[in-house]
Amino acid sequence: MRFYPVSLDALLVELANLDETLALFDALQQAPIAGVEDIVPAARTLLVYFRPSALSREALAAQIAGRDVGATARQAGKLIEIPVHYDGEDLDDVARELGIGRDEVIRRHTGSDYSVAFCGFAPGFAYLSGGAGFVVPRRSTPRTRIPAGAVALAGGFSGIYPQASPGGWQIIGVTATRMWDLDRDEPALLQPGYRVRFVDAGPQAAVQVQVPAPALPVEPAADNHLEIVSPGLQTLFQDLGRPGRAGQGVSASGALDRGALRAANRAVGNDPASACLEVLMGGLSFVCRGHAVAAVTGATSVVEVRTPSGQVLRPALYAPFTLHDGDQVCVQAPSAGLRNYLAIRGGFSAAPVLGSLATDTLAQVGPKPLAAGDRLGFNARVGGTAVSLDEQPAFAMPRAGQVVTLDVVMGPRSDWFTPEAHTVLAEQPWQVTPQSNRIGIRLAGEQPLQRAIDGELPSEGTSVGAIQVPPSGQPVLFLADHPLTGGYPVIGVVAPYHLDLAGQIPVNAHIRFNPLGAFEPVRPAHSDEIQAR
């Protein structure tokens, strides 16, 4: 095993092959290590999240190193049959790559059962191993859109796209079978360990996969609700997310500025983890029906309350204020920062999705973005926890044109880049481009980051804060809605304590990365070092 740092609270474990990876994953599931919070398996790696307060990275590596990764046969899981129309646009290219005819590709693909090795990329996307044993490269140029239901190959895996998304896998067919459905007890049709048998369903002109629409934002509102006049550029429900669901391919998501969300809730006397409205670049306008206590935190914005009599009030940020029936509230565009958080005392009366109200914009899990005319019910509360009057921003909100410094833990794939690239990463300011969103901040620099190792990196887990580098050499800083797995090397990961700041950096600001130290693989601690701690 090899161990590599991933931020301050995660460790990447690299093994020789998929069999060893799955053996270690099973061992860690059957006998968990205290302090480990989640594990993301991939082709040859495990991404292990842990609590630094419970154990050190070196102590965790030592405990993992002692596990047996000898190949042991997994118990045969449930068999799922999937009918496929084998008329994919890459089928002929795959046949040429393998040196066989297209009919032989179909015969072999349907001739042996596959096994669900792990899930990732998106909810319901399963990496299927075994089967025909095909090994084909990804497309040299990824498609901007692969349709839902596409059956595809890449590396040594087969996979089925649960929803339309960009991707570089080779499409050999399509199925109408729904891979992800929140109305099922197990939303993901394919679970790790399940077996999959593909069945030739013959040619078909067109297949439409019925992908469920995102959940409505709220339950029907009663007397107490907010009536949305304008949602602005993007207003979403967000809370602290849904951690611990990596096995289903579901990332945690959640608020990009968690400190601001907690502060908004404390200001109105809610549990700090309650759902708020995350408002991007202002523009949110609503009318309060009923009486409420509200607070707005985050970006430096003006909040304006217009009463039915025409009086205009401007309550302070990070402080509670009272709303009466008919008051209209507007959150104006921020002068610094990017996102505001609106909390209502008692919380919103929306139904959670997989235990959370967070909206994951990549996975399309959670409530839909707000729209004009929506009515957001909230729970009236009399008494209970007191409001907080001393909330303050955790940092000065960044502005366009400003250079923002973010601390970075080098790794896990820093050694895939030249020494010059390490220098460029740290010394060159990186401009935040307009293509940035909740999935990631797309950066542009005069000098791209040059790789020392060419070739494909097998898919492996990625964390929030990861600085992933595509072939262009222009990095992407992953935020809360990032994919669980990725195929481009990560040169470093932003430290957890700077992630809230990263979520507030506006377009045309610049980021300067500050490495906390040189890249070094993690050395497992000896038993005497563990006892000394």
pLDDT of 185 reads 86
pLDDT of 305 reads 98
pLDDT of 527 reads 62
Alpha-carbon distance of 409 to 495, in angstroms, equals 6
Tens digits of pLDDT across the chain (533 residues):
999 999 999 999 999 999 999 999 999 999 999 999 999 999 999 999 999 999 999 999 999 999 999 866 667 789 999 999 999 999 999 999 999 999 999 999 999 999 999 988 888 999 999 999 999 998 877 788 899 999 999 989 999 999 888 888 999 999 999 999 988 888 899 988 899 999 999 987 566 666 555 555 555 556 899 999 999 999 999 999 999 887 678 889 999 999 999 999 999 999 999 999 999 999 999 999 999 999 999 999 999 999 999 999 999 999 999 999 999 999 999 999 999 999 999 999 999 999 999 999 988 899 999 999 999 999 987 677 789 999 999 999 999 999 999 999 999 999 999 999 999 999 999 999 999 999 999 999 999 999 999 888 888 999 999 999 998 999 999 999 998 888 899 999 999 999 999 999 999 999 999 999 999 999 999 865 555 44
pLDDT of 207 reads 61
| Domain ranges within the chain, ordered by starting residue | 2-74, 83-200, 225-377, 403-515
Strands 79-84 and 195-200: parallel
Residue partners of 386: CB distance under 8 A and separation at least 6: 269
DSSP codes, 29-92: HHSPPTTEEEEEE-SSEEEEEE-TTT--HHHHHHHHHTS-----PPPP--EEEEEEB---TTHH
**Residue recorded with tokens 């099922």:** 184
The span from the first CA to the last CA of the chain, in angstroms, equals 24
pLDDT of 456 reads 80
* Per-residue pLDDT tens over the stretch 179-224: 999 888 888 999 888 999 999 999 875 666 665 555 555 555 568 9
pLDDT of 138 reads 86
Asked if 476 and 452 count as a contact pair (C-beta separation under 8 A), the reply is: no
- Is residue 517 helix, strand or coil? coil
Alpha-carbon distance of 208 to 524, in angstroms, equals 50
Q: Kindly list the distances between the CA atom of residue 328 and the CA atoms of 228, 284, 289, 321, 391, in Å, as whole numbers in the listed order.
A: 10, 11, 9, 13, 24
Asked if 353 and 367 count as a contact pair (C-beta separation under 8 A), the reply is: yes
**Amino acid symbol at 294:** A
> Considering only CA atoms, which of 93, 99, 8 is closest in space to residue 57?
8
Alpha-carbon distance of 109 to 106, in angstroms, equals 5
Counting runs of H as helices and runs of E as strands, what totals does the chain give? 8, 33
Residue partners of 58: CB distance under 8 A and separation at least 6: 522, 523, 524, 525, 529
Question: Is CATH 2.40.100.10 what the domain over 403-515 is classified as, yes or no?
Answer: yes
The residues that bridge with 230 in the sheet, in sequence order, are 285
pLDDT of 212 reads 56
Q: What CATH number was assigned to the domain covering residues 2-74? A: 3.30.1360.40
The reply to whether 83-200 and 403-515 are identical in fold is yes
Report the residue count for the chain. 533
- Is residue 486 helix, strand or coil? strand
pLDDT of 203 reads 82
Asked if 360 and 366 count as a contact pair (C-beta separation under 8 A), the reply is: yes
Q: What count of Cα atoms within 13 Å lies in the side-chain half-sphere of residue 340? A: 32
pLDDT of 208 reads 62
Phi, psi of 280 (to 5 degrees): -95, 115
Residue 490, H or E segment: strand 490-494
Could you tell me the pTM of the whole model? Answer: 0.92
**Residue recorded with tokens 């301050």:** 8
Alpha-carbon distance of 380 to 393, in angstroms, equals 27
Assign 3-class secondary structure to 7-42. Answer: CCCEEEEECCCHHHHHHHHHHHHHCCCCCEEEEEEC
pLDDT of 91 reads 97
pLDDT of 209 reads 64
Which CATH superfamily hosts domain 83-200?
A: Cyclophilin-like (2.40.100.10)
> DSSP assignment, residue 221?
P
